[in-house]
Amino acid sequence: MNYPISLTAANDLYGCEFERVFGNVIELCVDAAVQVKKQRPFTSVDEVVDAFAGYLDGLSENEKVVVIQRHPDLAGRLAAEGKLTTESASEQKTAGLDRLTPEQKTLINCNNERYKAKFGFPFIICARENKVASIIEGLQRRYNNTLAQEIQTATGEIKKICKLRILDLVKDD
């Protein structure tokens, strides 16, 4: 299948095909596609984006943490081993995380570990909207947030990632 597909084609996808196409717009969260599929037909791509955002908004705080925990570390072990999802690999490359200096790699890895130790989940930022310097700055600045603030901020970043992934997959007719 060539992407982006039309909104009509997205509305017409068979059940499991919709889940295959949209199952990673929220990282490794096929349940989002299962739930959003029930809201078809959509009349615009914005409605699709809003439906996935609504899915996230409807989760409890604990469920949001589970969704956040599914995301990989930025420039972490999975990236080094080539085990990121196709979408995450592309996003991290766009941000320049595949071309870090040894100093930047050490700084990001140390800050990732410190962040995860405090919050219990990886640092989430929309890599496609950032570059290495802003990612490092965000890691350091957001460490001072409360858990509730970080759940809210990470969920907002996931919505940005989700929207961009949807725009890669579907376009208005």
**In a domain? residue 169:** no
pLDDT at 47: 98
**In a domain? residue 94:** yes
Active-site residue flag, 129: no
Beta bridge partner(s), residue 171: 6
pLDDT at 11: 98
> What digits encode the pLDDT tens for the residues 32-67?
999 999 999 999 999 999 999 999 999 999 999 999
Q: Give the CATH number for residue 131.
A: 1.10.3330.10
Residue 52: which residues within 8 A CB-CB, separation 6 or more?
Answer: 22, 25, 26, 32, 36, 159, 162, 163, 166
User: Is the full-model pTM beyond 0.95?
Assistant: yes
Beta bridge partner(s), residue 5: 170
> What digits encode the pLDDT tens for the residues 148-159?
999 999 999 999
Query: Percent of the chain beyond pLDDT 70?
Result: 100
Range of the domain at 117: 73-155
Average pLDDT over residues 90-112: 96
Overall domain count for the chain: 1
pLDDT band at 15 (very low <50, low <70, confident <90, very high): confident
pLDDT at 173: 94
Options 37, 71, 142, 159, the catalytic residue: 71
Q: Which of 4, 2, 22, 27 is nearest to 90 (CA)?
A: 27
**In a domain? residue 165:** no
**In a domain? residue 170:** no
Average pLDDT over residues 72-101: 96
Q: How many CB atoms lie within 10 A of CB 74?
A: 27
Residue 152 is encoded by which pair of tokens? Answer: 């809210």
Average pLDDT over residues 8-19: 95
CA angle 168, 42, 27 (to 5 degrees): 40
pLDDT at 149: 98
pLDDT band at 6 (very low <50, low <70, confident <90, very high): very high
**In a domain? residue 34:** no
**In a domain? residue 138:** yes
pLDDT at 116: 97
What distance in Å separates the CA atoms of residue 151 and residue 169, rounded to the nearest whole number?
Answer: 27
pLDDT at 114: 97
pLDDT band at 130 (very low <50, low <70, confident <90, very high): very high
pLDDT at 1: 86
